Amino acid sequence: MPSHLSKASKFLSSAFTLRLAPNPAKYRCSVKLSTMSNGGGAVRFPLSASSTLVIQKGDITKWFIDGSTDAIVNPANERMLGGGGADGAIHRAAGPDLLQACYSVPEVRPGVRCPTGEARITPGFKLPASHVIHTVGPIYRSDSNPEVYLSAAYRLLSVSCCCFFGSLICYS
């Protein structure tokens, strides 16, 4: 394993504890998504009378619940001008207006519209989602101090997210 990945892995394992339930089925923490004919799959977990957690497999640019989606989360880069993976797919599906909206987000420093660990919101344009929440995950380098990248989360009670930057950027 390259040294920068080893350092990131060591930090993440020391910062977070993953607890696996002894009987996943009993605690409903095991999720298996079957592939549907359209390439997607979904599992629904009712949380209350008015909210349901949906874990869906498929193309995020086509995803919606009951005919609409308020927002999708885009694993962006700090420039917010599109890129590869889901970021590029979201920009292509939303059309050129999304790029224009991203250009209109003020830079906080040269070339940076959304610093690592923060988020910005734009309209969804041609997407089924009315909004796109752009967020930037950390990229660990051998000369970096990983604690700095997660410092904004230290005072939070809980943090939940999808598998951002899984294999595209530095992790596999």
Rounded to whole angstroms, what are the CA distances from 121 to 76, 117, 144, 167?
11, 14, 28, 24
Residue 59 designated active-site = no
In the chain, the N- to C-terminal Cα span, in Å, equals 11
What residue has token string 């041609």? 126
Alpha-carbon span 86 to 84, nearest angstrom: 7
DSSP alpha helix (H) spans, the chain? 3-15, 24-27, 85-94, 96-103, 146-149
Of 31, 29, 35, 30, the closest CA to residue 59 belongs to 35
Q: What is the distance of C-alpha 70 from the center of its chain?
A: 15
59, 66, 70, 87: which one is catalytic? 87
52-57 vs 69-75, strand pairing mode: unpaired
Strand partners, 65: 68
The catalytic residues are 87
